[in-house]
Chain A
Amino acid sequence: MTTLFFIEHANGQVSDQSLKAISATSQIDGDVHGLIVGSNIDSAVAEASKIEGLNKLMHVDDDSFNNILAENLTQLILNISGDYEYFLAAATTTGKNVMPRLAAKLDVSQISEIIAIEGPDTFIRTIYAGNAIATVQTSDPKKVLTVRPTAFKAAAIGSSECEISKIDAENMPSISEFIGEELTKSDRPELTSAKTIISGGRGMQNGENFELLDKVAEKLGAAVGASRAAVDAGFVPNDYQVGQTGKVVAPELYIAVGISGAIQHLAGMKDSKVIVAINKDEEAPIFDVADYGLVADLFQVLPELEQAL
């Protein structure tokens, strides 16, 4: 049996999420083939070809894949799907967009955001916003899976390249078109790969006050996140959202500021190594998961924290 893994990249490098998710394939017997798409992506291809455990890399060099459309990427994978038994991708917005479409085309179920592999057909995943953990077994001949990156350690980049082959983008459906992209500009690390994250909740009161978090983040080299409550209230964009309906993160240090600790938020960050909670309500459930809790007014202590670092 052989596994096909879809590799994402940005700025000439393989994405951290893909490196983490691909290590799940080490628990599946057989060869692992990678697929990477884009145009003028030689450095990402070179890096991807050295991922340990990867036996072969297929590369599509085509302008139409500079921005990924689910319809086209699904067709591309279908074109080469023949002998593969496993299809995996990281549970990013791209993976979540494409893999269910692929599964339906293959007439199989898809298993979302697995956190462990128990056997060739048995996987573990969270349900109910992380409040329950299910072990599931599929009877489908082909397995289409997305992998929660934070549940796996990043695969190493070795020194020798695997076999690289170019494939063409044929039979593209052209029923959708990329119009534009507005990426949040930030000098900060990406939420899902940051070693330190400081997040704000409803207690921040408004979007302007997130500047207080920015200043601390600057000192720590941290990414800034938010709870769903802060996103719902319009303080910050949705790509800040940490939680079951947003991003799932597991940094070395997670600082929750003015976040009460709703279950849906905890599901997105409780695997962090060290959790700090700052909240003026000492009954807030966030303190039940925090290694260090500080009951205080965030508007008073955030400037103090910035000074102390």
Chain B
Amino acid sequence: MKILVPVKRVIDPYVNIRVKSDQSGVETENVKMSMNPFCEIAVEEAIRLKEAGKAEEIIAVSIGNQSCQETIRTALAMGADRGIHVLTEEKIEPISIAKILSKICEQESPGLVISGKQAIDGDNNQTGQMLAALTDMPQGTFASKIEIESDKVKVTREIDGGLQTVSLNMPAIITTDLRLNEPRYASLPNIMKAKKKPIDQKSPEDYGIDVTPRVNVLKVIEPPKREAGIKVENISELVEKLKNEAGVI
């Protein structure tokens, strides 16, 4: 079985982002970039399934500008076998990404697609579900546990009130939540080895997909700042303030 893992390059989660003064977006020039943390969890899960003998090949896919190759290399260094880079300079939306991925699914016929539940830049939380719709595959979103049982996959999902378990016919799409696993760090020898692993370069046109954006970002601003209040000395002062000043208890 093949596992397809889409990975996204985003601003590093530990970087404080800066909104551009012309309100056109968030500054990404000269900012440290990393693989989206939820995508790292997806790569890790695919590798664990391969290590457990449930999968033979892991294909990492990234869609975006030339530097996405680095993100694919990171996945290869973690343990993915080969990469597909779909080169585009467009700001590409989840629906277009899902369409390209659905074409790749047609060509590669993966048994599972494992993706992050959301990217920490756009916070859309859409691509996996959209890919499932376009390929008519079932979806196990926000996964905290994955168990393959012959031609089905059992997915435990993080839902608002707790956990839900569903069984999906394979091929299926799974999106990862935080507690699924803790991603490994790539070792130096594996980083060296990853340089030799193949990355196939494609374009959206190769897949016949029009990636013209449908959603236009009119402006991006900073959120209103909340002012710091006062420090209290002890619990009795705190309780007094909450009762008499704020009136919330």
Contact = CB atoms under 8 A, between A and B. Distances in A.
**Most B CB within 10 A of own CB, among A104, A179, A181, A301:** A104
26 contacts: A93-B157, A94-B159, A100-B127, A109-B215, A110-B130, A127-B26, A127-B220, A128-B26, A132-B26, A135-B220, A138-B214, A140-B215, A175-B168, A179-B165, A179-B166, A196-B248, A228-B178, A245-B178, A253-B242, A263-B16, A290-B228, A294-B233, A294-B238, A304-B234, A309-B239, A309-B249
Interface size class of A (residues with CB under 8 A): 35 or more
B209 interface: no
A46 interface: no
Interface in A87-129: 92-94, 96-105, 107-113, 122, 126-129
A182 B162 contact: yes
Interface string B125-143: 1111111111011110110
Contacts of A290: 228-229
A133 B95 contact: no
B208 interface: no
A232 interface: yes
Contacts of A181: 159, 162-165
Interface of B: 11, 13, 16-17, 19, 26, 93-95, 98, 118, 120-134, 136-139, 141-142, 144, 154, 157-169, 177-179, 214-223, 226, 228-236, 238-239, 241-242, 246, 248-249
Given A127-B123, A292-B230, A183 B223 contact: no
Nearest to B38: A245
Interface of A: 10, 67, 69-71, 74, 92-94, 96-105, 107-113, 122, 126-140, 173, 175-184, 190, 192, 196, 220, 228, 231-232, 237-239, 241, 244-245, 247, 252-253, 263-264, 270, 273-276, 282, 287-296, 301, 304-305, 308-309
Nearest to B19: A132
A22 B213 CA distance: 28
